[in-house]
Structure formats: C-alpha cells, structure tokens
Amino acid sequence: MPGLYLHIPFCKQACHYCDFHFSTSMGLKGQFVEALVKEMALRRAYLPDPDAPLETIYFGGGTPSLLTAEELNRIFDAIRANFYVSPQAEITLEANPDDLTPTKLAVLAASPINRLSIGLQSFHEPHLRLMNRAHSAPESWAAVQQAQAAGFENISVDLIYGVPAASHDIWQEDLARLFELNVPHVSAYALTIEPDTAFGRRLKKGTFVVPPEEFVAQQFEMLLAQLRTHGYEQYEISNFCRPGRESRHNANYWRGVPYLGLGPSAHSFNGRSREYAVANNPQYVAAVLEEGRVPATVELLTPLDQANEYLLTTLRTSRGCDLAYLRDALGLNILFERAEYIASLVAQGMATLDEDVLRLTDAGKLLADHITLELFAAAPAAAGA
C-alpha cells in the first residue's frame, strides 16, 4: 500500500557528515509549511491509486522535530483533507534528542505520530562534538527514556560506527548503552565521507583521517553479532528490529511500493517513473505558492532501470533477490549472464542461492555495493538479448 514522505528541510546546525538537503536558516519555515500544504493538493492524484489508503507517513529531513504544534496540526489537517489514511498507518517522525523535551514529547504524543526515529548517533561526547551534533551524550540517553515515559513504545534509534578512534572500546560502549534502552528498532550506518560536507572538505585538505576499512568492517561484524545476541533481526543491511518491528515505510521502499514525496529534494515513485523535487527552499516555495507548480525532474524508468532497481534494493534485504522474478518479470537474466560470478560468490561464502533467491551473507554484506555493481555488468547484454 502507498506511503507519504514529507521532507522538512531545516536544522539547527550542520552535522559534519551530512549531505542531505537542509537549511540552518528558519526564515522560510512558515512559508515552507504553507507550500507543503499546497503541494498536497497539487499532487494528490500522483499515486497509481489515489483512493488507496496511506499505510505509512514519514516525516524526514532535515529535522522534523523542529516543527511546532501548530505547524504539525496544519500539516495533518492537509493530509486528512487530501488523502485517506489507514487507521493502522505507521506515522514516523525523525527527531533529534535535544528537541525531545517533555513539552515537545507531549505535543508529539497528542498528534497522530505513533513512531519516533531518534538520531542518537553516539553516546560518546567527543564523537558527538566531532560530528557537530546539536545534542549532548546525556541528551542521547534522556531523549529515549523520556519518549518512552511519554507513551512512545515504537522507537527507532540511529547509531554511527566507523568513527575514527584508537580502538573499538567506544563502539562497544555505545552498543552496551543501546541495549540498556531496549528499543525495538535500530538503524546503524558506517560513517561515510561525502565530498560536499565539512568532513569531505577536511579530508581533501588532509586535516581529517578516516579509519582503515578493516577497522570499519570489524565494527560492523561486532554490530551484527551483538544485535543477534539481543534478539534483533537484520532485515536490511543497516536496519535491525525485534521480530515484527521493522520500519514499514522503509521496507516498502525496498519492495518497490509506490510513494509520494513532498517538499524540496523529496523523491517520489509511482511504479513507472521517479520524480526529484528541486533541492532549494526559496525556489520550491516560490514555484508552489506563486506559480502553482512543483519544480521537479521526472525520470521515466525503462524496463532495465526497473530491473536494476529491483536488484539493488532486494540484495540489501534479508528476503534477498528473486533471480527468477528478475528474469521473467523484469527481463534481466543474471542467472545465465552472471552464472559464473554468482557461483563464485556462493563458493566464497559471500552469498547463498536457494531456489533462485540470492541472499548475501554477513561477509557479502560488507561488499554489497561492489557485488551489486558487478551484477549490473550483465545489464547491457540482458537488454540486447
């Protein structure tokens, strides 16, 4: 069933690793909310079945927890006016720990939001300062506990591993603190250095040194082992949950379920094409409010595009990639084109092949991007077959 994504492009300050679209200036925030509401009316017919109930709503960013009670209420009023929301819908809001005061949590608890995704990143103060996070280590801990006390049980937390350090001790401590919180969902990401970020610029200047790949891989392996020991399932490379507690919204991305993205830089997918809204707040606000249009780039998906997307997304999940479906429904026959490479993955313990379903092992997940690119190499041959 379809989903709705709302990009809230504002942050208090810029994290040194982040290359998502956001602004630290709040000057356009009121007009942005007005434009977001208008965009819903403009794009209500985008999804393949506009009358199908929304099963998931996701406030991402940026920092959606910067929205006031009035702004949230206005957005939800517009959602209800333009879409039918399933009574069982998963409604997630990303939040930074420093925003989750008792007062703000009371506002969120009184809203339709029923799931919080809290960006902790670390419980180690020097690492938070290195990443230029707006919150402190004590706030990381308190935010989750206060959210639980406010009635939020469906909570996900984010952690970052592969941060430069002399040993694995800090990462071990982060994991130990995580398990004390007993949340049902964890997203864990390796620190990635993107060019247009503070870390990227410092790396280019030689003032920032990334840890060796082996160091990062060891922390990933520690993550897998300890999460399994504590009852979490890895249902996607970076996402872990207690049984039955996966993020329905994100899982639908990996399953190719249509969704509508609203706001600057938001992406949308309707099964036939993708749309990418302009990543510029003033341009977005002016186009929507003054011209009644959404400034977006449309990419029509060829059968090969759809096949490659299916391969890319499903290989990241515990469900794996159904190579027979990839061949019969999407026209990409890597069972034949890359039979030797697939056999080598299995022989090396990088993947398993069971009834034509290819799944990466823990060792394979460390090289998921490389393996996917290797399998993409079959695409030109398959397209011309």
For residues 8 and 263, the answer to whether their CB atoms sit within 8 Å is yes
CA distances from 211 to 131, 317, 364 (A): 15, 26, 21
The count of residues in the chain is 385
Supply the pLDDT for residue 377. Answer: 55
Supply the pLDDT for residue 157. Answer: 98
Supply the pLDDT for residue 1. Answer: 74
Give a three-class secondary structure readout of the chain: CCEEEEEECECCCCCCCCCCCCECCCCCHHHHHHHHHHHHHHCCCCCCCCCCCEEEEEEEECCHHHCCHHHHHHHHHHHHHHCCEEEEEEEEEEECHHHCCHHHHHHHHCCCCCEEEEEEECCCHHHHHHCCCCCCHHHHHHHHHHHHHCCCCCEEEEEEECCCCCCCHHHHHHHHHHHHHCCCEEEEEECCCCCCCHHHHHHHHCCCCCCCHHHHHHHHHHHHHHHHHCCCEEEECCEEECCCCCCHHHHHHHCCCCEEEECCCCEEECCCEEEEECCCHHHHHHHHHHHCCCCEEEEECCHHHHHHHHHHHHCCECCCEEHHHHHHCCCCCHHHHCHHHHHHHHHCCCEEEECCEEEECHHHHCCHHHHHHHHHCCHHHHHHC
The list of the chain residues with pLDDT below 70 reads: 377-385
List of residues 6+ apart from 40 with CB closer than 8 A: 78, 79, 81, 82, 83, 262
pTM above 0.85, yes or no: yes
CB atoms within 10 A of CB 72: 21
- Tokens representing residue 176 in the block: 């130990």
Supply the pLDDT for residue 50. Answer: 83
Terminal Cα distance for the chain, rounded = 34
For residues 286 and 43, the answer to whether their CB atoms sit within 8 Å is no
Q: Model confidence over 7-60: pLDDT tens digits?
A: 999 999 999 999 999 999 999 999 999 999 999 999 999 998 888 999 999 999
CB atoms within 10 A of CB 94: 19
Alpha-carbon span 341 to 346, nearest angstrom: 9
Domains and CATH numbers, the chain: 3-254 (3.20.20.70), 303-384 (1.10.10.920)
For residues 88 and 123, the answer to whether their CB atoms sit within 8 Å is no
Q: Model confidence over 178-231: pLDDT tens digits?
A: 999 999 999 999 999 999 999 999 999 999 999 999 999 999 999 999 999 999
Alpha-carbon span 130 to 164, nearest angstrom: 10
